[in-house]
Amino acid sequence: MQRMQAFKFELMPNGEQRRDMRRFSGACRFVYNKALALQKTNYEAGGKFIGYVALAKSLTDWRNGTETPWLKDAPCHPLQHALKDLERAYKNFFAKRADFPRFKRKGSGESFRYPDGKQFVVDQANNRIKLPKLGWVRYRNSRDVLGQAKNITISQSGGKWYASIQTEREVPQSVPTATTAIGIDVGIARFATMSDGSFIAPLNSFKKHQQRLARYQRRMSRKVKFSNNWKKEKTKVQKVHACIANARKDFLHKTTTTISQNHALVCIEDLQVGNMSRSSKGNSEQHGKQVSQKSGLNRAILDQGWGEFRRQLEYKMAWSGGMLLAVPAHHTSQTCPCCGHVAKENRLKQAAFLCVDCGYAENADVVGAINVLGRGQRLLACGEDGSGRGRKTTTKPASVKQEPTEATMHEVSHA
């Protein structure tokens, strides 16, 4: 099967290359914003949507015009890809997958992309990459680049420049070495609780650096905006944010790798993280309730990285030959796994579960994980969610409705 994979490395450019990379990313940002402004003006005038081909012709005029001759100094292909990014943003908006495209600002998401593998050369033996109009750029070679290079994205984060190389290669279809199935209930007090009773403690990387980040942000707010002192404090804030993101990403990669290697079937909750972390401030007519408590809860939810956890787990399970199923999450911790009784009274405390019907007692997160596993097995066997609510999930049901084999069935000891 075809596997698309990205390999990210830190670049070590010299001073001139740093300046050129800032100029190239600025040129891509300028082209994106100019094309977006042209689209808006054309729409207000009653015109139709301008496609990529027409915008590419306008790009040629901008490069050869007298107003923006400095666009010629930037490579052509990244500028063209900026127009493709805008077209993709519009398509996502029309398909209701994203909000309306917004103008890019300097200092946020600085990047540019060479979309063809023939436009750059990766010399792994000498730890360098050759890029158009930049020459050879050294990089920290931490691992081998596997497969045929398709494109490369140069981006800046936390004051450092990175190269992300996307590759494509043919790999044999993986067969899972594990034979167990498990359900996972994610939370805040416990990052992930398994249906076998084990759990993974949360990292809380933002919480650990929250006070230091707030201190740097206060210092930054006292400086004159865009002054040299303000830029120094901004660099400190960016470094803390980068540290938080890197620690969370490392934690999630290690966790998902361990889970995907040890289980053939993983069932998780189909959580709508965006809705769960939505602000409760309300509006001028109807004010929200318990705004500060909800704000703290939202911050804790986003600190866990549930969305990234699911994304990584999905492709890693596919790589290992396993399967990931997402099931409805409602009432998983209020349903008794023994008798099936559903009631709020079953969970009067946050961590304790006690069935009022049969007296079954267990940790509430473990109960939730057991129910998640049961729903996943019913979904795999019969194509139904097993929740009794008939809610459609975002995960496609099994193509062949049959009882799971012994390799995917796992008797839960707590059931």
Sheet of 265-269, strand order = 199-200, 192-194, 181-186, 265-269, 323-327
What pLDDT, in 10s, does the model give residues 299-324? 999 999 999 999 999 999 999 999 99
Amino acid letter at 384?
E
Residues 6+ apart with CB under 8 A from 198: none
Please give the share of the chain, as a percent, with pLDDT higher than 90. Answer: 77
Query: Using one digit for the tens of pLDDT, what is the confidence trace for 69-84?
Result: 999 999 999 999 999 9
pLDDT mean over 354-367: 92
User: Which tokens belong to 82?
Assistant: 């900026």
For the segment 37-56, the average pLDDT, to the nearest whole number, is 94
Among 222-226, 350-354, 381-385, the least confident range: 381-385
Residues 141-161 have a mean pLDDT of 95
Supply the residues annotated as catalytic: 185, 269, 365
DSSP letter at 69 equals G
Looking at residue 349, its pLDDT comes to 85
Instruction: Say if residue 407's pLDDT is above 60.
Output: no
CB–CB of 387/377 below 8 Å? no
CA-to-CA separations, 209 to 206, 216, 240, in angstroms, rounded: 5, 11, 7
Give kind and range of the element (H or E) at residue 353. strand 352-354
Q: Would you state the pLDDT for residue 284?
A: 63
Two tokens, residue 79: 């500028």
Per mean pLDDT, which range of 99-108, 137-146, 355-364, 388-397 is the poorest? Answer: 388-397
**Which secondary-structure segment (H or E) carries 4?**
strand 2-12
Element (H, E) at 156: strand 148-157
pLDDT exceeds 50 at position 174: yes
**412 backbone dihedrals φ, ψ, rounded to 5°:** -80, 125
- In this prediction, residue 384 carries a pLDDT of 58
CA distance linking residue 258 with residue 260, whole number of Å:
6
Question: In angstroms, how far is the first alpha carbon of the chain from the final one?
Answer: 38
| Strand, helix or coil for residue 111 | strand
Model confidence at 408: pLDDT above 80? no
pLDDT band at 413 (very low <50, low <70, confident <90, very high): very low
| Strands across the sheet containing 121-123 | 111-114, 148-157, 160-170, 2-12, 135-139, 128-131, 121-123
The pLDDT of residue 205 is above 50 = yes
pLDDT at position 91:
95
Short-list 38, 59, 53, CA closest to 101? 38
Q: Kindly report the average pLDDT of the chain as a whole number.
A: 89
Q: How confident is the model at residue 382 (pLDDT cuts 50, 70, 90)?
A: confident
Please give the Cα distance from 52 to 46 (Å, whole number): 19
pLDDT of 21 over the 90 cut: yes
